[in-house]
Structure 1
Amino acid sequence: MLNGVHNHELEPKLSGHLVTGRLKEKDKKRVVDMMKSLALPKNILMDLKEKNKESVMNIKQV
């Protein structure tokens, strides 16, 4: 950003962006509970995405 103006167009979908992938408090609790139950990260991600269809988080954020 230079002089308050971006030098590129903004992405229409922020897939994988850290801000959009942040977990809410209830989701964080769900992740902790599932990890205690030895759930695999891919299963945790699928569970979170089923509950929030618009989620753009990825496996690295879990």
Structure 2
Amino acid sequence: MELQQLINKAQETIAAICKHPDYQKIALYYSPDLTISDAQAALTFLELEIHAEAEINLSQLEEFSA
């Protein structure tokens, strides 16, 4: 399984957790150091890093073909 697919699944799982009635009850009084939003942000940054790396690899290939 590709890393991007795993990130997508993780984002879907986090979204499902946020919508779950049990979590919504807990969220009223639950205040951890790291939040669901922090997890979502971490996945977004990881995704950006993957795309940046892909762009770098593509530009390196273009240099060799020139």
Structure number with bigger Rg: 2
Instruction: Give TM-score, length-normalised by structure 2.
Output: 0.31
More helix by share: 2
